[in-house]
Amino acid sequence: MNKAGRFFFVLLCSVLFYSCSSLPKDDEQTWVYNSDKTLGILVQSDGLHFTKKISASYDSFIVHVDKIDGKTNAEDVSTVDIVFNRDAQEIVYPFTKKGQTYKIYISYKNKKSGKITKSSPVSVVASGGIGEYKVSASAKPSSYNSKEWKLTFSNFTKIQSIKPEKENITGNLIIKNEDSYWYNDFEIVKNTINLKPLLGKIRGKDFALVLDYSFEYEGQTYTQEFFNNELEPFSDTNGKGEIGKTGLKVVRLSTKSGKPVASRENWEKGSLNIDGKIYDLQVKGRGNSSWGTSPKHSYTLKLSKKTKLFDMDESKGWVLVSNYADKTLIRNQYVEYLGQNVFNRMMWNPHFEQVELYINDEYLGTYLFGQKIKLEKTRINIDNEGFLVEINRREDEDFNFRTTHDVSISLKEPDDISKSDQIRIRNIIQTAEDVLFSKDYKDPVKGYAAYFDLDSLIDWYIINEYSKNVDSAWFSSIYLFYDPKDGKLHFGPLWDYDLSFGNINYNDCDKTDGFYIQVRGVWFARLFTDPAFCKKVKDRWNQKKSAVYKSIESQINKLYENVKESGYYNFERWPILGEYVWPNADGYEKRLSVRSEIEYFKNWCYERYQWLDTEFNKY
C-alpha cells in the first residue's frame, strides 16, 4: 500500500491516542502549519512531541514523519503516520538517535468541502532520543484459515535498547480492493491473533494488517506503526474455490456497474458464477417489509436463457432468499420438505439450495438459491388459458381486484392480458367464492368442491395452520392457480415461511395453541362449517401426522447440520444472534446461538403438533 492509500485508510478510521508529558520549552519547538494557520503541529526535537492547534473546520488530520537518510537524502520506507482527531491532544514519537533528520508534514481534510490538503514539509534534527527500537512480525499468507479463526506469526521480533514499562499492540485491517477497515482489538497470545470477530469482513478475501505498537517508558507513551504482509496479503482460503469447508456451494454475482443492487423495480445487468460457469443475467431486489427492515436483501434473477442449475429443471427465473429474520436459516426448507414429502398433493413447490453468496466479491452470508414461482412446463405446467394469482393485501401488481368478501387478488401470470381476460379471471374467482357462500355450498356436485381442488387446498391448509404462518391468514404469499383441464382453483405453491413456527411477536403467532387460518381466512372459516370438509382435514392429518412428528427431530436436525458451518460465518457477517430483529418472538435475547434457535424451533413444533392433534380429532 502506498502512502496515499495509507492516508485514505487512516483518515476514514477511528483514532487511537496516547497521553504524554508537558509541552517542550520554546527554544526546542518547531511548529508545522497549514497554509491559513488554522491547523498546526508543535514538534519537539528530542522526541517529536506533537501537540495540535486545530480549527473547527477540520475533523481530523495526519502527521507524516519520514526518516531521512543523511547520505542519500532519501526517505526511509518505514515512515510513520500519526493520526489526530478532535479529542486527541498530544502524542509522542521517539527519535532513535541524536542527529537523525526527520521530514514532517500534515495532511488534513476540510470538514465542509471534503478537500484534502498537505502542508509544506519541515525538517527537524533530533537532539536526543531513547535509542534504537524496532518491532516486526511476519506470517506466511497461507497460514490463515478462517475455520480456525486465527493467524499465527512465523516470526515476531523486538529490538530495543530500553525495557518498556508497559506494552500494547493494536491493529488495522486492510482488505484488498476495498475501503480499509479500522479494528483495534487484536489480542496477540503466543504470537497468534484471534480474527474470529472479523470473519464478516475477511470472508473469502485478501487482507493485510497494520499493527500499532505502543509502550511506556519513564512516564512517556511511545508509538510505532508497522505493516505485516503488505505486499503479499493473507488469504481466507475458506472462501476460495467453489465449495468451501462449510460444505455449501459458493454463488458469485457481479453487477455490470460494480455497485450493489439498490432497486426492487429496475433490472440491473450482471453475471452469475456457479462452479466456474458464467451466466449472463439481470438482477433486482425482492421482498416487501424485509426490503426496508433488513440490511441483508433478497434478489430476483433473470438469466438470458433457460438454464439448469443445482440439478433443478431449466428456467430463466431464480431467486436468492436472505432469511435475515429467521436465525435458524432453515424454516423455508423445512416447509419445502413438508410440501414435497409429506403433504404432497400440490402440483409443484419450489426447491431451494443453501449457498454462500458474494455480490461484487463482497461476502453477504448464507442464502437460499431457489426456483421462482412461474407458469412453465418445468414448474406450474398448465394450459394457456390458466393463470396464477396471489391473495395479496398489498395489491401491488398491474391487475388487482377484491372479491365481494373482500379477498384481495393480484394477478401474477400471465404478464400481459387483455381487458376481456381480466374480466374472465375475475369471474372465475368470484364464481368460486359465490358458490362457497351459497346455500348449496356443501353439495358435492354443485357446491364448492366443483370449483376448488380440495386435495391441494387441504394440504396447503394443514401446513400453514401447523406453521402458523402469519401471512397465510389472507394477507400475502397465498398462491392459487386455475387449471383449465379440470376447471378448478388449486392452492400452492408454498412460499415465504421465515416468519412462521413461532418466529414472530404479533397476531398470537408465537403461541402454539389456537386456530389461525380457519378463523382469519374468510374462505376457510366458511369451509369449516361443513362437517364433510372437517372430516377430510381430520383424515388427512391422521394419515400424515406420524411423518410430521418424525420430521420435527430428523428433518430439522438434518437441515441444521447442512447449514451449521456456514451459519458461523453468516452470523459473523450479520451479528444478530441475541439481538431483536423485527419481528422476532420474545426470548430472542436468550437465544445466543443457532443451536438455541433450532431448539426453540423444534420445541415450538412439538407443542403445536400436540395442540393440533387434539383439536383436529375433535371433528
CA atoms within 13 Å, Cβ hemisphere of 609: 17
Yes or no: say if 174 and 1 are a contact pair by the CB < 8 Å rule: yes
Find, among 512, 522, 476, the residue nearest to 497 by Cα: 476
- Cα angle value 299/303/308 (rounded, 5°): 105
- How long a stretch of residues is the chain? 619
Give the residue from 281, 280, 286 showing the smallest Cα distance to 265. 286
pLDDT at site 77: 41
Note the pLDDT of residue 23.
Answer: 27
Which residues make Cβ contacts (< 8 Å) with residue 423, sequence separation at least 6? Answer: none
Tens-digit pLDDT profile for residues 158-183: 877 778 888 888 777 777 666 555 55
How far CA 22 is from CA of 49, 51, 90, 419, in Å, comes to: 9, 10, 9, 84
352-373 pLDDT tens trace: 999 999 999 888 999 999 999 9
Would you state the pLDDT for residue 261?
94
pLDDT of residue 595: 94
Regions of the chain with pLDDT less than 70: 1-63, 69-97, 108-114, 116, 128-133, 142-148, 176-186, 199-201, 203-204, 224-225, 230-231, 236-245
pLDDT attached to residue 347: 97
Contact 317/272 with Cβ under 8 angstroms?
A: no
Q: Give me the pLDDT at residue 13, please.
A: 30
Closest CA to 454 of 494, 408, 488, 403: 488
Helices (H) and strands (E) in the chain, counts: 10, 31
- For residues 364 and 269, what is the distance between their CA atoms, to the nearest angstrom? 19
Reported as a single tens digit per residue, the pLDDT across 482-495 is 999 999 999 999 99
Omega before residue 444 within 30° of 0, cis: no
Name the strand (E) or helix (H) holding 257: none
Q: How many whole angstroms separate alpha carbon 390 and alpha carbon 409? A: 6
